[in-house]
Structure 1
Amino acid sequence: MLRFPAPLRPGDTIAVTSPSAGVSGLGAERVAFCVDWLRQAGYEVVVGECMDGSGITAGPAERRAAELTAMLCDPKIRCVLPPWGGETAIDLVDLLDWDALAQAEPTWLVGYSDMSTVLLPLTTRLGWATMHGDNLADTPYAQPAGLLPWTELASGPGPHVQRDSGRIATWARLDEDTRAVRWRDVGEGTWRLHGADSLHARGRLIGGCVETVTNLAGTPYGDVAAFGRRHADDGLIVYLEAAEDEAATICRNLHALRLAGWFEHATAILIGRTNAADNAKMTQEQAVLDALGRLGLPLVFDVEIGHVPPHLPLVNGAMATVTVTADVRQITQELR
């Protein structure tokens, strides 16, 4: 059974912790600004102890797992938000207190990149809806027309309608502005449909960052095949985005997800826009087609769901409808 956290409202408490990379230097200045921004938006914000940015993670895996578990189980906390992603959140997934989490009411966990490593098992193992959306450092950026802030999706059941923004952007450099709230436009782009002339697909959303979730496939923490079987009547819409690995590596990872049964109940696959490098003999798009083209499923390329801003938030477990025609490029999510 899927369980959706209570709607997030101004006045609710958002907790900040670093399950993966911590903060230091200009990054700490950015995070402090973002905490103040959330408070000015009306939320109570508490900052945990696991925030140290001197190492590859914010502290020992046991401490990070304990703090994240405590925050997710605290009924006074309605949302947990990391400063950003990182590299090795996989070291804590088996250290979370899964029994305690199973007994707790679901709490919003929001983030992307390495946070996919934690979002995915909370949804597939516990049935908690989780949010693949902006980390704390990106939250103050204003959304362009067509996209919604993650706070709006967390505020109620929807339907939440988002459309292709047509924009390609980038972040403000921290050494130039730690208080930026507007993306820097670098170009225009649009969703592209492959494998069909038009698309109208429905299914439960599930997915994340290719480089991190692939390491969960074949383990109890990334059993999307079993999740798909449980929701076979609804079907799945699987979404994936490449952060930085070159195309041949992404190709191997996508084949691994295919062999692990991730797409057995899929009705469509969404592929995030990426700046990751091509291989000398394979582009990123060719990598996707090599691994997933044989499935005969519609593929939607260049969706704003990854490491190229702006960001289109998606709720793992939400019932989604994706429509792509000559005139419409839209996703609707219902939190039910």
Structure 2
Amino acid sequence: MTVRYPAPLRPGDAIGVTAPSAGVPDRLGARLDVALQWLRDRGFRVEVGDCLRGGGVVSAPREQRAAELNRMLLDPRVRAVVPPWGGETGIDLLELIAWEAVAAAEPTWCVGFSDTSTWLTPLTLLTGVATLHGQNLMDTPYATPDGIRHWVDVASAPRGSEVEQRSPGRFRAEGWDDYERDPAVSTFTLDAPGTWTRLDPGHEGEPARLTGRLLPGCVETMVAVAGTRFGDVPAFAREHAPDGLLHALDVCEWPAPDIGRALHGMRLAGWFDGSRGVLVSRTRAPGTDTMTQHEAVVDALGGLGVPILADVECGHVPPYLALVAAARTEVVHAPDDGGGHRVTQWLD
């Protein structure tokens, strides 16, 4: 079955803003307002949901959050749904999302990462609809560095477009911008050099070319979905990716042994069946005296026999690639011949 792409975003389109997981506390409300105005200034109509503000673990009761998300996903006027960020327990919505109705509806661009991928990745797996991983609403006012595309630009690309991005070779080593002190900040602090790292045993340091349909997701949340009806990767691969998958893993905060255990569990649940390669995010998550984050990945996935590239801009460390889940994808890692580190996707 063909992957379905939402219609390209155009000025005048409505963008729905809701928080299916964590809401925005009052002290960061000014940043939220800046992000909303950024969209309006570019000609979009912004529909602000009731489940958005608040400092609790979730923005509203489960049923209310699910109803609002379903309404936006099924409203043909809403051409994108963009949460402010992720959170912790968005998994509680999976049984309440109207999957069959969403699959039958005109697809809508859904954007985000972290806990947002807890429902974003199942949306792709269950419906075959492309989604956007790697940036969220609170990141939207940032100017993307050279080589990286803004999610609005990617979502506005015509069907059939080729979208190329490349690593800028720099990242933020520590800390975060203080949205409370400077809610209008729009320039990433990229204060450390860094490139991708090849990890698969026997091929460390070698160039690589990976192809397949991309499946991104946050390890700490996907481990709870793998092996359930919401995380049936083998079925998706059979139907939509007969030539194989590329996996993009966002490692947020768990220590290395926990990440290794999670990846082993995902592998046993079939998450990596049909994999042609694995991208692993750059992360600030800690190692231990006996295991680094890179070692955890190799321990769990080194036996797949596919290229594994780490320190990719597909996680919680700025900057963030805007990656289209389910898109046909080519990844080139050629550090020594001028080919650089690039991701090319085709929206076909």
Instruction: Check whether TM > 0.5.
Output: yes
Kept in 2: contact 1:171–1:183 (CA 8 A): no
Q: In 1, distance between residues paired with 2:52 and 2:191?
A: 32
Partner in structure 1 of residue 147 of structure 2? 146
Amino acid corresponding to residue 318 of structure 1 in structure 2:
A
Partner in structure 2 of residue 110 of structure 1? 111
Partner in structure 1 of residue 82 of structure 2? 81
Secondary structure of the corresponding residue to residue 33 of structure 1? helix
Match of 2:197 among 168, 192, 196: 192
Structure 1 residue 154 displacement after superposition: 0.8
Partner in structure 2 of residue 164 of structure 1? 167
Which whole-Å deviations, capped at 9, do the CAs of 1:88-141 have from their partners, x for residues lacking one?
A: 000001101122212211000000000010111110001111110311000111
Structure 1 residue 46 displacement after superposition: 1.1
Structure 1 residue 55 displacement after superposition: 1.7
Runs of 4 or more above 4 Å deviation: none
Structure 1 residue 232 displacement after superposition: 4.6
Q: Which moved more, 1:192-201 or 1:202-211?
A: 192-201
Matches within 5 A, 1:1-336: 1=1, 2-156=3-157, 157=159, 158-169=161-172, 171-195=176-200, 196=203, 197-325=206-334, 326=336, 327-328=338-339, 329-336=341-348
Which whole-Å deviations, capped at 9, do the CAs of 1:219-247 have from their partners, x for residues lacking one?
A: 11111122122245321001101111111
Q: In 2, distance between residues paired with 1:229 and 1:100?
A: 22
Which whole-Å deviations, capped at 9, do the CAs of 1:24-52 have from their partners, x for residues lacking one?
A: 22221110111011111221111001113
Q: Which moved more, 1:228-237 or 1:250-259?
A: 228-237
Secondary structure of the corresponding residue to residue 214 of structure 2? strand
RMSD across aligned C-alpha pairs, in angstroms?
1.2
Amino acid corresponding to residue 235 of structure 2 in structure 1:
A
Kept in 2: contact 1:18–1:58 (CA 8 A): yes
Q: In 2, distance between residues paired with 1:44 and 1:234?
A: 39
Structure 1 residue 207 displacement after superposition: 2.1
Matched-pair identity in %: 49
Q: Which consecutive residues of structure 2, in runs of 5 or more, have no partner in the other structure?
A: none
